[in-house]
Structure 1
Amino acid sequence: MAANERTGADAVPDTSWKARVKQIGPGVMAAATGVGAGDLVATMVAGARYGYALFWAVILGTVFKLALGEAVGRWHLGSGRTMLSGWRTLGRWATGYFGVYIVVWGFIYGATAMSASALPLNAMFPVLSVGGWAVVCGLVGLGLVWFGRYALLEKIMTVLVGVMFVTVVGTAIMVGPNLLELGKGAVPTLPEGSVAYVLGLMGGVGGTITVAAYGYWTFAKGWRSPRWLPIMRLDNAVGYITTGIFVIAMLVVGAEILLGQDLTESDKGLLSLADTLAADYGQWARIPFLVGFFAVAFTSVIGVWNGVSLLFADWWRTWRMPRQAPPETAESYDHKAGMHSVPYRIYLLWLTFPPMLLLFLGKPFQLTIVYGVLGALFMPFLSGTLLYLLNAKSLMPAEHRSRWLSNLMLALCLGLFAGVAVNELAGLF
């Protein structure tokens, strides 16, 4: 067992700069998990269709997720309760809503994550179809998470993030961003037909439901008291700023290489991009990009299979609690028990096998757009409940309640996502 996993709630963290950097991990897990399956594919498509016009949505998405991630981490460390324990205090409607949502979301997302991971593998090794590679990715992710501990998963994710940075950002630098157009894209505009893409960008920069998993990873890391809040804030910022850079890099690649192409009509858009890179820069440019794209996508498989399964296991635990059960503390939540529980393993199987039915539709890009829209429906719920929980005098100590900036960001996030979600749903009907 790693030393940081043995840390108790009363431990005093080393706050030196070197020690803080060594502790970075849960934020990278949370941000890289979400940026894997939904963001980069949707961003590449958005760049191909609208150029740099939606750059502003990437910026806002990063800022909002910074605020949400900090709020989730502060709830766990400041109150000593998990996210599901907090929702339980709001009544059965909150936990009931989340229970229905996580089941539906898992079915869509399982297919999205596996297909996004399979696209670059199919491009490099066409011996299997996209659906075939997706099945392989799902099974490998299932095995890693089923048998792996948090410390191992964090190490694997860190390596994949390193590969992501070198390859994806390197590709964007190689193709050369148009800085003037990028600057213009920082001014909010809504080109015709772009609402779903805006939802995908803002709702998925570093995850949607995966944001709520962040607190569980802080507990797994051994952070169990408010003393860890400064380290949590650094960790959260590093994670979301890093993934924001990844998403910008993919927007650049889409805008510079694929502008004008309708990638949603075929699952070969990624292969076309790789071939374009090879034609323009040589075969050496093709493989690193595909390897990087796989690293980006597969982090979401590992992270979701672990983090969202922990959320489901905790939902089952809190749903079955007696109404008069005493409030839990950080020490009463057993992360290891959650990872070995029956509900945890059932949800792992739910993420892996039923979604395989969707893998052979032949349109993995559409799945990622659907995921972005579906994920955005969760954001008003998360931001609204956090706004209440972090200001509740009966739940949060005064020194850790939200201040004006956090409340402003959560309120803006609530209003924005509620508005765009209602607009999108109205358009569907």
Structure 2
Amino acid sequence: MADTTEEEAGAPVSRPRKASWRYIGPGIVVAATGVGAGDLVATLIAGSKFGYTLLWAAVIGCLVKISLAEAAGRWHLATGRTLFDGWRSLGAWTTVYFAVYVTVWGFVYGAAAMSSSALPLAALFPDSMDLKWWGVLCGLVGLVFVWFNRYAVFEKVMTVLVGVMFVVTVYLAVRVTPNLGDAFAGLVPVLPDGSLIYTLGLIGGVGGTITLAAYGYWVNAKGWHNTSWMKVMRLDNRVAYITTGIFVVAMLFVGAELLHSTGIALAKGDKGLLDLADILADRYGTATAKLFLVGFFATSFTSLIGVWHGVSLMFADFVSHYRPSVAPAGTPRDKTPAFRAYLLWLTFPPIALLFLDQPFGLVIVYGVIGAFFMPFLALTLVWLLNSSRTPAQWRNGVLSNVMLAAAGLLFVVLCVQQVRELPW
């Protein structure tokens, strides 16, 4: 990508597009990818332990993600440079960190995403196939889908799956008959005893992964390449994270009404959602439980194909800066050898982890570098968007700086907590 903006190059900038619903897309993709089954379990557990009390934290979490994704999108549109290009301008340390991160993280995440997508399928079709083979099938389907389709098709499929997630979660929230008085009371910030870690997790965890950094790449893939798309990008981003907020609030309602009132505990991790399916079957019947499992699959599979596509775009950009000869000029980023190589890395080596216990040392490395990514993203965005690398008109204002700095501090605290909880 060029290192100068259109304004600096003297090229005319297109007249700003009117923010319109018909343009919305990349934000839905990044939000759906960032919300995985584990996030929903964490939200359910928070609701089961504290009822509606932490609803305010879920709302703040959505505002934090809006700020981060907006900053990533603004960098791409205002500078004409990719986020990795910006990181590289901060020093060689960012390249080293990113290279280690995408290598180790992708290896372990691939297995986790396949397992998460397999769980609801194994529950929907019992005795038809072993869980591990369902995982392999999900990984291969994700590989083939992303390999052979352009961004436009990918976005449409993601939107359909988000629609499924939305319908299922809202239906469940209505079905459990939420206490709206208690819910509104939960918008007042309070911290019950023992709730600090759950609160930080709700603010920082849901929808917060490397895919936030991929947002700018999806913005470019959509065809938005200059500041004329800034209003459109901001509307797209807000709609996406408001939708995410509805997911989170709906699951908190389910946790508060279905679990908190009865004292039922869920297993941690993705398997907690299978516990919830059993509870739903007992309370509301098999049809509701199966509908929930369909939503569970949509939640997990959007994360899988979103990472397969978005992080592979980032890796392709990384390679293009060091081996520009690998792809002929003009080749779309999602058709380059580097993009496809990372797709294969996300799929085939992790399959081995489905049949083996994850090596202890690998789990430690994965946990450490993964914990550091969100502080890395938030604080480097503050750096980039307050420097001369960004045209003055598009640098951070006071609100953006406050939100990004707060996000950075929050993620540092979560990073320390996550590292402390690792099985050293």
- TM over 0.5: same fold? yes
Using the TM superposition, give the Cα deviation of residue 113 of structure 1 relative to its aligned residue in structure 2, in angstroms: 1.8
Amino acid at match of 2:394: H
C-alpha separation between the residues in 2 aligned to 1:265 and 1:60?
24
Contact 1:204–1:376 (CA under 8 A) maintained in structure 2: no
Contact 1:199–1:372 (CA under 8 A) maintained in structure 2: no
Using the TM superposition, give the Cα deviation of residue 47 of structure 1 relative to its aligned residue in structure 2, in angstroms: 3.0
Aligned to 1:271: 274
Q: 1:288 aligns with which of 272, 288, 291?
A: 291
Aligned to 1:166: 167
Amino acid at match of 2:90: L
Q: Percent identical across equivalent pairs?
A: 56
Q: CA offsets, 1:274-318, max 9 Å, x none? A: 232233223331222111221121111111100011111111222
Q: 2:194 aligns with which of 176, 192, 195?
A: 192
Aligned to 1:67: 67
Aligned to 2:39: 39
Q: CA offsets, 1:73-104, max 9 Å, x none? A: 00000011000000110111011111111222
Cα 1:188–1:306, aligned 2, differ >3 Å: closer, same or farther?
farther
Q: 1:341 aligns with which of 329, 336, 339?
A: 336
Using the TM superposition, give the Cα deviation of residue 169 of structure 1 relative to its aligned residue in structure 2, in angstroms: 1.2
Amino acid at match of 2:102: I
C-alpha separation between the residues in 2 aligned to 1:140 and 1:312?
21
Trace 1:181-330 onto structure 2 (pairs within 5 A). Answer: 181-186=182-187, 187-189=189-191, 191-192=193-194, 195=197, 197-198=198-199, 200-259=201-260, 260-264=263-267, 269-320=272-323
Using the TM superposition, give the Cα deviation of residue 46 of structure 1 relative to its aligned residue in structure 2, in angstroms: 3.4
Using the TM superposition, give the Cα deviation of residue 333 of structure 1 relative to its aligned residue in structure 2, in angstroms: 9.3
C-alpha separation between the residues in 1 aligned to 2:55 and 2:48?
12
Trace 1:59-208 onto structure 2 (pairs within 5 A). Answer: 59-126=59-126, 127-186=128-187, 187-189=189-191, 191-192=193-194, 195=197, 197-198=198-199, 200-208=201-209
Cα 1:98–1:57, aligned 2, differ >3 Å: closer, same or farther?
farther
C-alpha separation between the residues in 1 aligned to 2:113 and 2:87?
27
C-alpha separation between the residues in 2 aligned to 1:374 and 1:198?
22
C-alpha separation between the residues in 1 aligned to 2:270 and 2:215?
32
Using the TM superposition, give the Cα deviation of residue 358 of structure 1 relative to its aligned residue in structure 2, in angstroms: 3.7
SS at match of 1:354: helix
C-alpha separation between the residues in 1 aligned to 2:377 and 2:308?
20
Cα 1:53–1:378, aligned 2, differ >3 Å: closer, same or farther?
farther
Q: Which stretch of the first structure deviates more once superposed, 86-95 or 198-207?
A: 198-207
Question: How many pairs does the alignment contain?
Answer: 403
Q: CA offsets, 1:215-240, max 9 Å, x none? A: 11111111111010000000000111
C-alpha separation between the residues in 1 aligned to 2:329 and 2:203?
32
C-alpha separation between the residues in 2 aligned to 1:191 and 1:321?
55
C-alpha separation between the residues in 1 aligned to 2:201 and 2:131?
22
Aligned to 1:329: none
Cα 1:188–1:251, aligned 2, differ >3 Å: closer, same or farther?
same
Q: Which stretch of the first structure deviates more once superposed, 168-177 or 282-291?
A: 282-291
C-alpha separation between the residues in 2 aligned to 1:159 and 1:362?
34
Q: 1:387 aligns with which of 365, 382, 385?
A: 382
Q: Which runs of 4+ in 1 moved over 6 A?
A: 370-374
Amino acid at match of 2:344: L
Cα 1:415–1:269, aligned 2, differ >3 Å: closer, same or farther?
closer
Scaled by the length of structure 1, the TM-score of the pair is 0.85
C-alpha separation between the residues in 2 aligned to 1:38 and 1:142?
22
Amino acid at match of 1:214: Y
Aligned to 2:390: 396
Using the TM superposition, give the Cα deviation of residue 361 of structure 1 relative to its aligned residue in structure 2, in angstroms: 7.2
Contact 1:29–1:303 (CA under 8 A) maintained in structure 2: yes
Cα 1:397–1:192, aligned 2, differ >3 Å: closer, same or farther?
same
C-alpha separation between the residues in 2 aligned to 1:130 and 1:231?
42
Q: CA offsets, 1:231-277, max 9 Å, x none? A: 00000001111011112212222332234444336975433322322
Answering whether residue 420 of structure 2 is matched by residue 421 of structure 1, we say no
Amino acid at match of 2:273: L
C-alpha separation between the residues in 1 aligned to 2:323 and 2:185?
52
C-alpha separation between the residues in 2 aligned to 1:96 and 1:116?
29
User: What stretches of structure 1 of length at least 5 have no aligned partner?
Assistant: 1-8, 323-331
C-alpha separation between the residues in 2 aligned to 1:205 and 1:371?
19
Cα 1:65–1:289, aligned 2, differ >3 Å: closer, same or farther?
same
C-alpha separation between the residues in 2 aligned to 1:42 and 1:35?
11
C-alpha separation between the residues in 2 aligned to 1:77 and 1:178?
43
Using the TM superposition, give the Cα deviation of residue 162 of structure 1 relative to its aligned residue in structure 2, in angstroms: 1.1
